[in-house]
Amino acid sequence: MVVAFFCASCTTTPVTHAPDEDLGLLWVKHAAEYEALTRQVYQAAGLALDGFVADQSWSALPAQEDAEGLRPAIIFDVDETVVSNVDFQLTFERPFRDWKLNAWSSAGASAPVPGFAEFAAAARAAGVELFFVTNRPCEVLEDGNDPCPQEQTTIDDVIEAGIDTDAEHVMLAYERDDWTKEKVTRRQYVAKTHRVIMLFGDDLGDFIPCVRAKPSGPCTEAATAASRKQAVAQAADRWGNGWYVLPNPMHGSWTTVTSAVGARHAGDAARPHRKQRPVGARHAGEIRESPAWRAPTAATRCML
């Protein structure tokens, strides 16, 4: 049904954005530096793994106390942390909707983030339990009765990234009543039974609560660009020391507090006209001569 929708839509729907103007998308897709960074993050974390496992007094969650003796656990975000969806970002018909990403992901189209599988395997071998906390939401699809078909899609994505997992270890938004898009309640849920030794994510919300301009419970106050930077500074000793950020210049909660990009990432507004010369044109010589570059067309979108 979903596949049928995509095949029908891609023959008739025009491209709704200009991916060759977006340097963030192009960087993730084409820059070797992107892969160097993700490998750097996971390799650095791997060097610290044994120490965090051995230190019973350590928790990556500032509020977690008395965790000695609990089994160690690591919490990963999924999108742009475990799997890369850059090909989706390059081609999906704007505006963004969660069901569009789920449809794309259910076709097995995402790619592993380099470095993740090796690190996760080492962590599991060291006795660490791996949890995946994603803001992909549980939503009933039009043609089904499953209250959370997105859970199996996410499990499949993690497995395709190289690590076996199951529904117990994959935690989606709205899977339980208090599991909003604010991830702190899911981190607290894991912390009831585990000593959380590391966090991995591409968004500030993967580490720090209440960083969204539109807060979800239990947060009540809107974050601002200034409050987010202040929160990062207050946690200065955590970065690279239990907290590990993967690069994502394509989207995230940062866009909700930044008026320059808020409109086109809000999901309900057309991309504004850009007055500057398109980045694609300025970089055409480097990028379009690359054999890896394929401008998204109706035909390539049909391959989804």
For 84, phi then psi, to 5°, come to -100, 130
The token duo for 225 is 């660009």
Which of the ranges 167-175, 202-210, 278-286, 289-297 carries the binding residues for Mg ion, by CB under 5 A?
A: 202-210
Q: Does 202 bind Mg ion (CB under 5 A)?
A: yes
Between 23-30 and 32-54, two packed helices, what is the crossing angle to 10 degrees? 70
Q: Distances in Å between the alpha carbon of 236 and those of 133, 239, 242, 264? A: 23, 6, 11, 31
Q: Minimum distance from CB of 294 to Mg ion (Å)?
A: 25
Q: What gap in Å lies between CA 78 and CA 134, rounded to an integer?
A: 6
SS3 102: helix
Burial class (CB in 10 A: 0-12, 13-18, 19+), 54: exposed
Binding to Mg ion, residues 260-279 (CB under 5 A): none
Nearer to Mg ion, 205 or 242 (CB): 205
Helix (H, G, I), strand (E, B) or coil at 136: strand
| Closer residue to Mg ion (CB): 201 or 279 | 201
Query: Rounded to the nearest whole angstrom, what is the least distance from the CB of residue 83 to Mg ion in the complex?
Result: 9
Could you count the other beta carbons within 10 Å of the beta carbon of residue 1? 9
Q: Quote the least distance from Cβ 69 to Mg ion, whole Å.
A: 31
Q: How far is the CB of 146 from Mg ion (least distance, A)?
A: 23
Nearer to Mg ion, 53 or 110 (CB): 110
- Asked if residue 139 binds Mg ion (CB under 5 A), the reply is no
What angle do the packed helices 98-105 and 2-10 form, to 10 degrees? 110
| Rounded least distance, CB 26 to Mg ion, Å | 19
Nearer to Mg ion, 82 or 103 (CB): 82
Interface pattern 115-134 for Mg ion (x via CB under 5 A): --------------------
> How far apart are CB 248 and Mg ion at their closest, in Å?
7
Binding window for Mg ion (CB under 5 A); candidates: 45-53, 194-202, 226-234, 276-284: 194-202
**How many Å apart are CA 156 and CA 115, to the nearest integer?**
18
Indicate whether 157 belongs to the interface with Mg ion (CB under 5 A).
Answer: no
Instruction: In whole angstroms, give the CA distance from residue 158 to residue 152.
Output: 10
Interface region with Mg ion, contact rule CB under 5 A, candidates 105-113, 124-132, 199-207, 213-221: 199-207
Identify which of residues 175 and 202 has a Cβ nearer to Mg ion in the complex. Answer: 202
Nearer to Mg ion, 22 or 80 (CB): 80
Tokens of 11: 């023959």
Complete edge-to-edge strand list for the sheet that includes strand 170-173: 170-173, 129-137, 71-76, 194-201, 243-245
Please report how close the Cβ of residue 133 comes to Mg ion at its closest, in angstroms: 10
Backbone angles phi, psi at 60, to 5 degrees: -80, -10
Footprint (CB under 5 A) of Mg ion, residues 41-100: 77, 79-80
Site for Mg ion in 20-39 (CB under 5 A): none
Q: How far is the CB of 77 from Mg ion (least distance, A)?
A: 4
How many residues at the interface with Mg ion, by CB under 5 A?
4
Q: Which residues bind Mg ion (CB under 5 A)?
A: 77, 79-80, 202
